[in-house]
Amino acid sequence: MAQGLGRQLRLCGINTIILEDRDYHDEAVKYALKENRVILTSGAPYEKLKQYVSQGQCFKINTLLPAKEQLVEVLKHFKVVVSEDNLMSRCTICNGPEYVFMPQADMIELCTAPGGPDVVGCSNVRSYRSHVLNMVTGCFENGVKVQCQSLPVQSLSHVDTFFICVSCGKVYWEGSHHRRIKQQMRLSEFMTIPFSQPTTSCQEAVEKH
């Protein structure tokens, strides 16, 4: 039940691991001890896992609250202040922190490319800061393929710039949904909490239950 909270944390730019259904609860302890993360969980897993980590390193989620209110509780408890720059700075799918910004013309070319062998030539690649994209295969130099097949056709003609997660290839853009989320975040209570000693970043291991 922590998946929704995990996505909300990622929307705030917080480094958040969301365990899969197939993962054992013990995985959360491994992340907490190895990477100094906080476990967010509830019910029986909370009672079990808190025994294996330092005091305060396991937080009990109020499952009666919706994810957005759980988020506020977590940020208040750990004194995390979220800035405008933090909002949507991480991929909500894979937690990746880095995006490539692609102009409309390049995205149209990529989406209409027939695909084929990995032929790399001057006309087949585009450089975006420290990353290179093969326009024939649709893959970055790390092998991750841009997920342009999931793009609505109308977005290609109405969006000037797309941003792509380098870690998983998920494509985002500044649409009405994107702007609405940002606006909701700006109006949220945790954006204006006056902490005397703010913590600018917080790593969380999210345990599912």
The Cβ-side half-sphere exposure at 58, using a 13 Å CA radius, reads 23
Q: What is the pTM of this model?
A: 0.80
More confident residue, 115 or 171: 171
> Given a cut of 90, is residue 150 above it in pLDDT?
no
Average pLDDT for residues 185-204, to the nearest whole number? Answer: 45
**C-alpha–C-alpha distance, residues 209 and 207, integer Å:** 7
Q: What is the pLDDT of residues 5-15, one digit of tens each?
A: 999 999 999 99
Band (32; pLDDT cuts 50, 70, 90): very high
